[in-house]
A and B are shown apart, each in its own frame.
Chain A
Amino acid sequence: MSTSLPDRATISLTVSACLATVLEVDVGTISETQLFKEDLNADSLHLVEFSYEIERIFSEMTGDFTVNDEDLATLKTVGDTVNYVFAVLHR
């Protein structure tokens, strides 16, 4: 297990790929400015799956990564999530 921290670009690619898998869409259609609900039609179940996968993937990459339940509710866009993951990993 690697403990080196991913840079922002890697986090962005990983988050987009994860979301594309959950929503069953092409990763090329996802951009950081998109809103989960309004632009990507993600519903609550998608977001549960997405947050679970984000935790799993970044925990495997870094050894430990948790999305706080309260913080989860504040993430509205793909970019919010990328920034959140970056901030948690690099704090």
Chain B
Amino acid sequence: MLPIAVDAMGGDNAPQAILAGALQAAELGIPIVLIGPNDLAGVGSLQLIAATEVIEMHEDAASSVRRKKDSTLVVAANAVREGKASAMISAGNTGATMASALLRMGRISGVQRPAIATAIPVPGSTPCVLIDSGANAEVQADWLVQFAQMGTVYSRRRFGVEAPRIGLLSIGEEPGKGDSLRKEAYELLSNESGLNFIGNVEGRDMMTGVVDVVVTDGFTGNVALKTIEGTIKTVVKSLFAAFASSPENQVHADALMPALLPMYEVFDPDTYGGAILLGVNGVCIISHGSSSARAILNGIKCAQEMVEVGMVEEIRAAIAAATLSN
């Protein structure tokens, strides 16, 4: 397997956390190539492709990718395009990561819009795939059908769900609920063969195990994702505050900890390592800006898995088949 290109300079904790995650992945036998400055310290025995520029978090995505051709993000995407790497991962500027992947790897033929798929934790079940969680603020109804097709492949290949249940995120379960976009998308999804469309779902359904892939526009998806993340963080913080509020509570909390910690791991975004950009000609993992070494390690593992199962090729085949049948 070709190495996975890791943007050493992307994210709030770069390069230390990125290097630590990459080194841990290499210890597991995953081939890694770092993308960063020539004089980057702490690289160890890892291979490095030099890049002299960094796209900062605040920079405009499209123009920074056009102007900073020797940035770590563009060089990472180029490495995949040129067959020097099998996948890329970055915790840097999300928009620029998407733009780099789109412009250097290119769109899969027939894909109207690449979309970001994020794993939403579901206690006691496989995660739910939320697509699009931020790439396309405005969408057309037929793009949502493609998101469903790509999300189906991802759910199947990443989480082993044989016939993923597709739900359209709306404000009620009935077909007539939602705005004109949702109503049109509902019709299209209902008539699309090859999809296990179960109808509209609501935000509260995403973490209950009743749906495997939730399809929506990137604006709504991002709001939903950030709401879930914020809520989980607040609940966990409140729990810990309650545990620490008295010595008696702390004793009870200590007793409960063996049961609570595995649950915490399910909810921790670092467990999943990042989202994936679907619809481009390569595997691109977009990690959280605040990624820890553990998040980077898990993102790299995800990238490796997606390369090994041939997810890009499977999406290409799914889109081609759907295009032919329409």
Among the stretches A9-17, A25-33, A45-53, A74-82, the one at the interface with B is: A45-53
* Further 15 A-B residue pairs, CB within 8 A, beyond A49-B107, A51-B66: A24-B109, A24-B110, A45-B102, A45-B113, A48-B62, A48-B99, A48-B103, A49-B102, A49-B103, A52-B65, A52-B66, A52-B103, A55-B66, A67-B66, A69-B63
Identity of the chain A residue whose Cβ is nearest the Cβ of B103 in the assembled complex: A52
- Say whether chain A's binding surface is mostly helix, strand, loop, or mixed: helix
Interface of B toward A, CB cutoff 8 Å: 62-63, 65-66, 99, 102-103, 107, 109-110, 113
Contacts of B63 in A (CB 8 A): 69
Contacts of A48 in B (CB 8 A): 62, 99, 103
Interface of A toward B, CB cutoff 8 Å: 24, 45, 48-49, 51-52, 55, 67, 69
Q: How far is the CB of B81 from chain A (nearest CB, A)?
A: 11
Can you offer 8 A-B residue contacts whose CB atoms are under 8 A? A45-B102, A48-B99, A48-B103, A49-B102, A52-B65, A52-B103, A55-B66, A67-B66
Contacts of B62 in A (CB 8 A): 48
Contacts of A67 in B (CB 8 A): 66
The 5 A-B pairs with the shortest beta carbon distances in the complex, nearest first, are: A52-B103, A48-B62, A69-B63, A52-B66, A49-B103
Contacts of A51 in B (CB 8 A): 66
Q: How far is the CB of A53 from chain B (nearest CB, A)?
A: 8
Contacts of B113 in A (CB 8 A): 45
Q: How far is the CB of B277 from chain A (nearest CB, A)?
A: 13
Q: How far is the CB of B138 from chain A (nearest CB, A)?
A: 10
